[in-house]
């Protein structure tokens, strides 16, 4: 953080107004690295310098960070793991500051994972009422017929931890690659534990592979194991999605398939120059 005038730092910390902070400085009640700072033009760096007002140490205002990670298979989505398995935090050790994952992708799942220290945004995105769409590409064992897919599109009862059963919200599902074990695109607006896997198990099909390729306005655009910072525009779009706000060009989620059976494919973004390899 660049050096700023002391009165601005004190005001930003919520200690006093900027005018009152000037009075504190000229009265000799502010110390910078143990030395009185009585000149109003004095500058400091809140992240590096020790600033005390009436003996109380000021803490730099928290700066929010936002990253998108392409999680590979074989990592758990936690900050730490009591079983000492690799976690997604092992992939982002090079970043400055502490962040944590928003929502979860299970050990065998891959794809887009958001990490941030912005608690308000994280809570907003994970609220069921926000209806933020999440897009997955899924490979299943066997060929589910249209009757089974329609059940999933309309919502289906799945078991949660403890045995309680809940009904999923309507989903968009379409075939994207035929085969004995086809690939499908699945768009849901919830984030229940292992939801997509459980949905297909309920209609008799095991999920062999699953990758999240879009989370709200974010598309997966970095290689497996790599991450990048979000742009200011992406952060603004995420905040709008979390609050339920509509932005120009945004499209509402349509739970049932279109008349032609399509559901709209998540755009695939090019690999950006901001991508960083996780160490």
Q: For residues 111 and 213, what is the distance between their CA atoms, to the nearest angstrom?
A: 6
For residue 238, is it within any domain? yes
**Shortest CA distance to 91 belongs to which of 119, 110, 118?**
110
**The total number of structural domains that make up the chain:** 2
Say yes or no: 123 and 35 in one domain: no
Residue 137 maps to which CATH number? 3.30.2350.10
Convert the pLDDT of each residue in 81-98 to its tens digit. 899 999 999 999 888 778
54 catalytic? Reply is: no
DSSP sequence for 179-199? SSS-EEEEEES---TTHHHHH
**pLDDT value at residue 220:** 97
Tokens of 95: 């970043």
Q: What confidence tier does 13 reach under pLDDT thresholds 50, 70, 90?
A: confident
**Shortest CA distance to 134 belongs to which of 229, 205, 76, 219?**
219
**pLDDT value at residue 93:** 85
More confidently predicted of 127 and 224: 224
Say yes or no: 119 and 92 in one domain: yes
Residue 17 maps to which CATH number? 3.10.290.10
For residue 8, is it within any domain? yes
Q: What percent of the chain has pLDDT over 90?
A: 63
Q: What confidence tier does 31 reach under pLDDT thresholds 50, 70, 90?
A: very high
Say yes or no: 224 and 127 in one domain: yes
Convert the pLDDT of each residue in 105-118 to its tens digit. 999 999 999 999 98
Catalytic pick from 45, 81, 106, 150? 106
Q: For residues 10 and 14, what is the distance between their CA atoms, to the nearest angstrom?
A: 7
Q: What confidence tier does 60 reach under pLDDT thresholds 50, 70, 90?
A: low
Say yes or no: 77 and 125 in one domain: yes
Question: Among 19-23, 180-184, 246-250, whose mean pLDDT is lowest?
Answer: 246-250
For the packed helices 195-202 and 146-154, what is the interaxial angle rounded to 10 degrees? 130
Say yes or no: 233 and 172 in one domain: yes
Cα dihedral 158, 123, 83, 109 sign: positive
Say yes or no: 190 and 236 in one domain: yes
More confidently predicted of 274 and 76: 76
State which residues form the domain around 111: 66-141+168-277
Say yes or no: 211 and 269 in one domain: yes
Does position 217 have pLDDT exceeding 90, yes or no? Answer: yes
Does position 23 have pLDDT exceeding 60, yes or no? Answer: yes
How high is the mean pLDDT of the chain? 85
The residue out of 14, 38, 57 marking a domain boundary is 57
Angle at 219 between CA 218 and CA 221, to 5 degrees: 125
Say yes or no: 114 and 248 in one domain: yes
**pLDDT value at residue 61:** 64
Q: For residues 21 and 17, what is the distance between their CA atoms, to the nearest angstrom?
A: 6
Mean pLDDT of 116-126: 90
């Amino acid at each position: 953080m660049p050096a700023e005038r002391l009165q601005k730092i004190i005001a930003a910390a919520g200690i006093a107004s900027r005018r009152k902070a000037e009075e504190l400085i000229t009265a000799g009640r502010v110390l910078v690295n143990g030395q009185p700072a009585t000149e109003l033009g004095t500058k400091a760096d809140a992240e590096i310098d020790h600033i005390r007002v009436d003996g109380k140490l000021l803490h730099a205002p928290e700066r929010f960070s936002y990253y998108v990670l392409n999680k590979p298979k074989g990592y758990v989505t936690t900050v730490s793991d009591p079983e000492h398995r690799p976690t997604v935090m092992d992939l982002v050790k090079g970043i400055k500051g502490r962040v944590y994952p928003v929502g979860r992708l299970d050990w065998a799942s891959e794809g887009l994972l958001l990490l941030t220290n912005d608690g308000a945004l994280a809570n907003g995105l994970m609220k069921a009422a926000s209806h933020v769409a999440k897009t997955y590409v899924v490979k299943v064992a066997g060929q589910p017929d249209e009757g089974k897919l329609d059940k999933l599109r309309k919502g289906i009862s799945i078991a949660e931890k403890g045995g309680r059963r809940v009904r999923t919200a309507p989903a968009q599902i379409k075939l994207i690659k035929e085969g004995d074990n086809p690939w499908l695109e699945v768009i849901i607006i919830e984030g229940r534990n292992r939801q997509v896997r459980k949905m297909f198990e309920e209609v008799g099909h095991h999920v062999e592979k699953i990758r999240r390729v879009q989370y709200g306005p974010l598309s997966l655009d970095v290689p497996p194991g790599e991450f990048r910072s979000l742009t200011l525009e992406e952060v603004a779009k995420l905040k709008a999605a979390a609050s339920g706000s509509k932005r120009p060009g945004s499209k509402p989620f349509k739970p049932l398939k279109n008349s032609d059976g399509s559901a709209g494919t998540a755009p695939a973004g090019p690999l950006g120059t901001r991508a960083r390899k996780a160490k």
